[in-house]
Amino acid sequence: MDIEKMQNMSEDDVIDALLGEIEVPTRTVVIQRLGIPIKLKALTGKQISKIRKDNTHSEKVKGSKLEKDVFDDENFNAEIIEKATVSPNWNNEKLKAALNVSNGKEVIKRRLLAGEMDNLIEQVFDLSGYNDEAEDIEEIKNSLEPDTDSI
Q: Does 125 fall in a domain?
A: yes
Range of the domain at 125: 24-133
Dihedral over Cα of 134, 76, 108, 111: its sign = positive
Q: Does 149 fall in a domain?
A: no
Q: For the chain, how many structural domains are there in total?
A: 1
| Model pLDDT, residue 139 | 65
The helix (run of H) or strand (run of E) holding residue 93 is helix 93-99
- Rounded CA gap, 121 and 40, in Å? 10
Q: Does 102 fall in a domain?
A: yes
| Model pLDDT, residue 50 | 97
Q: Does 76 fall in a domain?
A: yes
- Quote the distance between the C-alpha of residue 117 and its chain's center: 11
- Rounded CA gap, 75 and 109, in Å? 8
pLDDT < 70 stretches in the chain: 1-2, 132-151
Q: Quote the DSSP letter at residue 52.
A: H
**Radius of gyration for the alpha carbons in the chain, expressed in angstroms and rounded:** 21
The CATH number of residue 28's host domain is: 3.30.2220.30
Q: Does 55 fall in a domain?
A: yes
Q: Does 59 fall in a domain?
A: yes
| Start-to-end CA span in the chain (Å) | 27
Q: Does 88 fall in a domain?
A: yes
